[in-house]
């Protein structure tokens, strides 16, 4: 009944446009029989037995969908390599985009007629009532916990066995890396690792988040300067270069930005940079921003681990990671409203010589 489906999409779009707040009580009362109840950061969500039309509203959920063999009907734009990261581009070539992670186009989401929306409380708490008016919505607490994202999406879509296989592969790789690096470095292991990111007018040093949590799992330690500093620090003065001191430094770059490249060269030319332990021991590695902080899912995590095997010249017996064939969703809508392109992600906190923040930092910043 295509006419009925189109009418429902129009009704949902109008509802999103004119209702500032929507109660979810009626949704719970009118939930269809069958399916499953999934506990998540938004509470307990009733989900159809086998969702066919999934919309993902953050990067880690999109990555996880591909890893689980799901073809979403809608995804948000990537932060870099727009409109979609290169490592996901082939798999998602024909998928509709629904705006930014920080400001999804709810009208377009409604027109896609999803039966499951995957969000994150960190980004989407304010629009939760509207999302739940459109479709059953599940959410993680953060944007960088790839294991939580994978587990939630697997439970919501009935792909738990595939998620277990992905996590077994990950756990095997982690155990192998820890064994090999301990054997290779001997008394030099564990190393203190600093993850830094150059921007056009400052430098960030991360202590948690996607890369930090993976490095911790692999056995690296944090530099003393960033322990108990929330997500990390922002540095705007070269006088603070000693804060970066560590056994190894991983530098996250955005190679297509000339201003960032100039700032990186400027800091590297400073005498204090030359005194850093990692610099003196030639342990400064430039790494890919998408793999290390932007991707946010199990596929990106494996790509980051690929980088580490390479940087330490370790043999990687698990190098090939097969991506499952994607399951095509139900019929997609041919005519869709244009996505909004006016919003711009913002970063929390004023930049100062040494800025400390205890809240999670937006992944795009």
Answer yes or no: is pLDDT of 187 > 90: yes
Are the beta carbons of 147 and 60 closer than 8 angstroms? Answer: no
Residue, of 19 and 59, whose pLDDT is higher: 59
E strands, the chain, where? Answer: 36-40, 43-47, 54-56, 74-75, 96-97, 99-100, 103-104, 116-120, 137-140, 193-198, 203-206, 232-235, 248-253, 284-288, 354-357
Mean pLDDT of the chain, nearest integer? 83
- What's the mean pLDDT in 182-208? 94
CA pair distance 365, 361, nearest whole angstrom: 7
Are the beta carbons of 238 and 272 closer than 8 angstroms? Answer: yes
User: CA 262, 222, 140: angle at the middle one, nearest 5?
Assistant: 90
Are the beta carbons of 240 and 267 closer than 8 angstroms? Answer: no
CA pair distance 276, 289, nearest whole angstrom: 22
CA pair distance 299, 303, nearest whole angstrom: 6
- What's the mean pLDDT in 51-75? 96
* Band of pLDDT at residue 48, cut at 50, 70 and 90: confident
> Could you give the domains of the chain?
2-161 (3.40.50.1980), 186-322+353-357 (3.40.50.1980)
* Band of pLDDT at residue 120, cut at 50, 70 and 90: very high
Q: What's the pLDDT score for residue 177?
A: 98
Answer yes or no: is pLDDT of 78 > 90: yes
- What's the mean pLDDT in 268-274? 96
Contacts of 73 (CB under 8 A, 6+ apart): 53, 54, 55, 95, 96, 112, 113, 114, 329, 332
Torsion over CA: 74, 80, 84, 87 (sign): negative
Which pairing describes strands 54-56 and 116-120: parallel, antiparallel, or unpaired?
parallel
Q: What percent of the chain has pLDDT over 70?
A: 77
* Band of pLDDT at residue 349, cut at 50, 70 and 90: very low
271 membership: H or E segment, kind and range: helix 271-274
Q: What's the pLDDT score for residue 362?
A: 43
Answer yes or no: is pLDDT of 315 > 80: yes
Tokens coding 165: 């296989």
Answer yes or no: is pLDDT of 8 > 60: no
Q: What's the pLDDT score for residue 13?
A: 52
Answer yes or no: is pLDDT of 327 > 70: no
CB-neighbour burial class of residue 350 (10 A; exposed 0-12, middle 13-18, buried 19+): exposed
Which pairing describes strands 116-120 and 203-206: parallel, antiparallel, or unpaired?
unpaired
Helix (H, G, I), strand (E, B) or coil at 280: helix
User: CA 100, 128, 17: angle at the middle one, nearest 5?
Assistant: 70
Whether residue 83 is preceded by a cis peptide bond, meaning omega within 30 degrees of 0, is yes
Q: What's the pLDDT score for residue 224?
A: 82
CA pair distance 145, 264, nearest whole angstrom: 29
């Amino acid at each position: 009944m295509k006419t009925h489906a189109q009418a429902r999409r129009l009704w949902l779009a109008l509802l999103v446009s004119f209702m500032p707040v929507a109660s979810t009580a009626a949704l719970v009362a009118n939930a269809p029989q069958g399916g499953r109840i999934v506990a998540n950061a938004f509470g307990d969500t009733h989900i159809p037995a086998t969702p066919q039309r999934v919309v993902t509203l953050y990067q880690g959920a999109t990555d996880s969908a591909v890893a689980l063999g799901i073809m979403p009907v809608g995804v948000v734009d990537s932060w870099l390599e727009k409109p979609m990261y290169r490592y996901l581009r082939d798999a998602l070539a024909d998928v509709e985009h629904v705006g930014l992670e920080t400001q999804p186009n709810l009208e377009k989401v409604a027109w896609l007629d999803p039966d499951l929306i995957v969000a994150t409380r960190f980004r989407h708490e304010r629009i939760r009532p509207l999302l739940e008016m459109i479709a059953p919505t599940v959410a993680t607490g953060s944007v960088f916990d790839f294991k939580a994202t994978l587990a939630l999406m697997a439970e919501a879509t009935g792909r738990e066995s595939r998620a277990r296989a992905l996590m077994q592969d990950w756990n095997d790789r982690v155990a192998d890396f820890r064994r090999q690096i301990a054997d290779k470095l001997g008394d030099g292991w564990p190393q203190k690792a600093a993850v830094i990111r150059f921007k056009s007018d400052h430098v960030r040093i991360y202590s948690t988040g996607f890369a930090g949590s993976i490095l911790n799992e692999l056995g690296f330690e944090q530099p003393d300067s960033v322990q108990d500093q929330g997500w990390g620090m922002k540095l705007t003065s070269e006088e603070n270069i000693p804060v970066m001191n560590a056994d190894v430094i991983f530098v996250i770059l955005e190679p297509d930005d000339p201003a960032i490249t100039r700032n990186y060269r400027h800091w590297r030319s400073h005498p204090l940079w030359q005194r850093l332990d990692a610099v003196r021991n030639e342990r400064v590695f430039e790494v890919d921003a998408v793999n290390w902080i932007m991707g946010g899912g199990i596929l990106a995590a494996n790509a980051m681990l690929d980088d580490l095997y390479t940087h330490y010249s370790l043999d990687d017996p698990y190098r090939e990671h097969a991506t499952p064939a994607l399951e095509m969703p139900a019929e997609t809508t041919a005519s869709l409203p244009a996505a909004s392109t006016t919003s711009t992600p913002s970063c929390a906190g004023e930049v100062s010589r040494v800025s400390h923040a205890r809240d999670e930092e937006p992944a795009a910043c």
